[in-house]
Structures are given as structure tokens and as C-alpha cells.
Structure 1
Amino acid sequence: MPVLSTVGGSGRSTVAGLLACALSAMGSTVVLDTGPRLSSPWPAWSSEPGTGLLSLPPDRPLTRGQVHAAASRFPAPDGGSWQVLTDHQEWSHPPLPLPSDPAAWYQLSAIGGWQAVIADTVHPVAHDVLTARWADSTGLTARWCHLPFSVPVLCAASTGSGVLALQTAVKAASAEGLPLHRMVVALAAVGEGRSPASVKAAATMLEPRVRAVVQVPYDPRIRAHGIRDTSRLKSRSLEAGRQLARAVVSSAEAAWGDPLPAAAVPRTRAAAQARVHDTARIASKKVPA
């Protein structure tokens, strides 16, 4: 589940956390923090940090135990837990070069063996789709959407400007043939009170085009402390997470069946290199006339 946003301040990390909290009741769940350390809220939200992404060198074989040890643990209200892979280095340490390719994150989560994987992405969707269109290339949004069993979650602030940016992103995604029929839209409230009429109208217009539109209410606890302790969140926030989870699962089952088939297992680097060497060896042999 790539959690995408149109612009900053769209409630993307909040939505990722609420979704993870709800999905953890269905199976093992992890959030992939793809953002740079000093711009990400996840290191500060982690009360039980793991060894962090720095402990997972990309050029060495990894075990499931190593990947799980690197992940932070977040308790869920039902007594369970979910995990987050993020960078826990001090602010003064050199930046950790994180992979931009979604396939690399997919491979990492496959080693970890989680059943539900949520990617907290940082790129602006509409800009990425438009740039890829004019460069005649495949953008990050499309690559996240094309991963096995991917259900995109598109976030926007529940404001007039937020839904305007959302509508632009949906138009761009539609023009590129991205899977709107699998997409779940999350409208995150930025304050108490009712949503503006423009937000309600936009939600009504979007509902026939996407899988579901879910309203995420304002929670002062999240504004003050983030997703650090989900047991103290308002019940309506947790219910929004459950609505998101139900929408995501429903989208996946409608697209691929119930129960879902086994996810594709990425080929390891060693296997890929062995295949290349075998191909080169066979090609070098002389073929009789």
C-alpha cells in the first residue's frame, strides 16, 4: 500500500500509521519510511526503536531476523503491534542514501515476510506523473502502483486547496492509466468542525472513480504527539483506520480474488548474478553447424 500525497501537509504519515494500526489485527504489518531522516516524523514517534535502516547494508545478504531487528515496534490498541523501518541515526550523522526504486523496498519487505506492507512515500504525485509523462519514462507513482498486489492510498487535506490539488492528481493519474479503480482516497481534516462544501462536493464526485473515499477526522492527540501511542487516540480516529483497512482489503480482493494469491518473491542478487553468468557461459560455447 503506497501512501501517496498531492502536496505536503496532506496527513500522509498519519494515514499510514492509522492504516498500519488497523491492519495489524489482520496480519503482520510494517511501514516503510522512505523519507529522509530529518524530514520524517517516524524516528521521533518510535518509543521502541530497532537498529534502523543503517544496519541493513544493501550490498550484503540479509536474514529475516536482521530485518525485523532493524524495525521499530509500535503497540496497537488490541494488544498486538506493528513495525516501522526507519533511520534512527543522530541528526549530525551523514545522510543515509535510501533507494528510490519501489522494487528495492518491495524486496526488503519480502525478506521481512510481512503480510501487509505500507510505504510512506514523500514525492508529490501530480508533479511526478507529469514529469514522467513528458520525459516518456515510468515515474515513482506508476512503479509503486505496479508492484504485486498494490493498492494505492492517495491523501489530501480536507480543505478547498487540498481537494483542488487532489483533483489535479486524479486527472493526471487517469491520463496515465494508473489504477484509479483500486485507489483509496483519504481526506484528512486539519481542524475541528464540518468539512467545507467544496470538500463534500469533491468527495461525491470522486466516489464513482475510485475504490473508496474515507474521511479521517482531526485528532488533537495526533497533532500534539503523532502516532507514538495509539491507545490514547480518539475512537473515531481508530475507526477511520479500520475503514481504510476494510477499503484496502476490499480493493485487493476485488482485483485479485479472495483469498489473495501468494505474493511474488523477488529474485535475490546472487541468483540474478548466477543467471547472468550462466547465460554468458552458454553463449560463449561454440555451437556446431
Structure 2
Amino acid sequence: MAATGGSGRTTVASLLAAGFAACGPAVVLDLAPRLSSPWPAQLADQGASGLAVLPPDQPLTRSAVQQACAINTAADGTRWQVLSDGREWHTPPLALPNSPAAWYQLAAIGGWQVVVADTVHPLAHDLLAARCAGEQGQTRGWFELPYAVPVLCAAATASGIQALQQAVMALQAEGLPLNRTVVVLIATGDGRPPAPVRAGATMLTARTAAVVHLPYDPNIRAHGLRAARLRTRTRQAAAQLTGAVLAAAHTTWGRPLPDAPQPAPLSHALPVS
């Protein structure tokens, strides 16, 4: 999650999925509208059917969900899946569910060991809007899913750290568990982070489970999610990020992690005449 756009969420989601794929089957769930997301191109290249063939109001099978995904292969051969809307640009938009619980149900059907949700809602604004409307809100919904470790992304700039700090204050005001929340600061250029970023990282280290610095990588900037070769520093930071997320989960729920609860099946009772 992030407070603003352009915060590196998709890059972080890709690195997390690649890192966790060594632990078991992993998937990225793309929650972005099709024409604002880089993920659909992967489905189109592979001819994967995507979310359009998974009707939300009908029972689904594991094989149907798995077949709707695209396969992403990292430079080291690690494979993980992506579930997005891969249709042509001119097709009508899908009505994707906002509720995190709906995506959790889909993940349970798919049977993955690790699920990375690439969200798009601005979390601080969502928290404020939900409070004013007397509703739960998407951010709280994601925090409260079983074994969820929120990952907050921000550009390592003065404005990026300011937006992140404001979001953290909103999370704290709402009583959400920062102690199992991981922060990722994504560098926008080579060199040492600016002084406001270093100061903000120090403050956030005391409030969250971990703060990870993701260095600038020109391969990602040039080739996006399909970067064949990552810098050594990027690979090291990605491993640190994966370890931080796993450590936050173990600290909160124990080692080994208990089995995740399965959503209740839909009732198909006959109508009463």
C-alpha cells in the first residue's frame, strides 16, 4: 500500500512475489484498473484469460483460477503467478470488488502459499474517508485479513517521506498494528538518501516492524517488471524485504505459521415457495 501514486508499489510487489516463490506457490493480485497497470501486458503476451473469466457471482474451481493467471519467471528461474485483467484496452472495464475479503476468498480458491496484493487506494485518504462515513474502509480490511503483513511504500524523497509519515500517523490514530507493518523506501536516484528521508526512516524504525531501503536500479527503470538482471544491491534489498515481512509474520503469529482460515462456502439453499 501507499499514500500516493508513483510510490513503487508494483516494483515492491514484484520483488516480494519473486522472493516468496522459494517458499511455495506465490501470486500477485493486481487491483489496479487495467489501463493504469503494467501487469495486464504479461497476461496478453501469454494469452492468459485473467480476471474476466472469473465471475464474482458464481462458484469457481482451483483449476479455473490457476489457468486465468500468467506466469512470471525471474532471471534465476523462480516462477510465480500474476492475476490481472489482460483484455484489450478498448473492452469495458471490469467491476472489481473493493472488499479485501473478496480477494482473500479468491486467493483461498487459488490455493497459493503467498499472496501479494498490489493495491491502488491511497491509504491515508481511505482511512479518513472511512472514519467520516462510519465505515470500515479498504485499508483496515487489508490489515485485518488473516496473516496479513502490510507493506507501506514511499519514494525516498522529501515529499514521499512526508506523505508516508502522515499515513503512519493516520494508521496510528486508527489503532492499526504498526508493529507488523513493513516500510519500503524506494530510491529515485543513486547516492545517499536526502536528510529528511534519513530522519524519517529513523523515526519509522521505532514505530514499525522494519524499514527497508530499496536502492535505485537502472534496469528496473529501463525495463520495468521485466528487468532480466537486477543489481546486486537490489537483490540484497529484496532479500532483506522478504525476510522482514516473514519475520513480522513469525513475531506476530508464531513459527511455524498456523494454517490460514478458509472462507466459509456460499450457501445454495433452495428458494422457499
Asked if these proteins are the same fold (TM beyond 0.5), I'd say yes
Gaps of at least 5 residues in structure 2 are none
2:75 corresponds to which residue? 77
Indicate the structure (1 or 2) with the bigger Cα radius of gyration: 1
**What SS does the corresponding residue of 1:32 show, helix, strand or coil?**
strand
1:145-184 equivalences under 5 Å are 145-184=143-182
Aligned 8 A contact 1:128 1:139 in 2: yes
Report the alpha carbon displacement of residue 44 of structure 1 after superposing the two structures with TM: 2.6
2:39 corresponds to which residue? 42
Q: Which amino acid aligns with 1:250?
A: A
Report the alpha carbon displacement of residue 49 of structure 1 after superposing the two structures with TM: 5.0
**What SS does the corresponding residue of 1:59 show, helix, strand or coil?**
coil
Q: Which amino acid aligns with 1:232?
A: R
Query: What is the CA–CA distance in structure 1 between the aligned matches of 2:172 and 2:140, rounded to whole Å?
Result: 11
Query: What is the CA–CA distance in structure 1 between the aligned matches of 2:150 and 2:66, rounded to whole Å?
Result: 24
1:191-210 equivalences under 5 Å are 191-210=189-208
1:256 corresponds to which residue? 253
- Return closer, same or farther for 1:49/1:169 CA change in 2, 3 Å cut-off: farther
Q: Which amino acid aligns with 2:261?
A: A
2:29 corresponds to which residue? 32
Q: TM-score, normalised by structure 1?
A: 0.90
Paired residue total: 271
Q: TM-score, normalised by structure 2?
A: 0.95
Q: Please list the CA deviations of residues 63-86 of structure 1 after superposition, one character each: whole Å capped at 9, or x if unmatched.
A: 111111111100123322001100
The more displaced of 142-151 and 73-82 is 73-82
Query: What is the CA–CA distance in structure 2 between the aligned matches of 1:160 and 1:166, rounded to whole Å?
Result: 10
Gaps of at least 5 residues in structure 1 are 282-289
Query: What is the CA–CA distance in structure 2 between the aligned matches of 1:48 and 1:179, rounded to whole Å?
Result: 39
Report the alpha carbon displacement of residue 59 of structure 1 after superposing the two structures with TM: 2.0
* Identical pairs, percent: 57
RMSD in angstroms over aligned alpha carbons? Answer: 1.5
2:5 corresponds to which residue? 8
1:56-75 equivalences under 5 Å are 56-75=54-73
Aligned 8 A contact 2:42 2:70 in 1: no
**What SS does the corresponding residue of 2:119 show, helix, strand or coil?**
strand
Q: Please list the CA deviations of residues 6-65 of structure 1 after superposition, one character each: whole Å capped at 9, or x if unmatched.
A: 101100100110111111111111000001000011123555452111111112221111
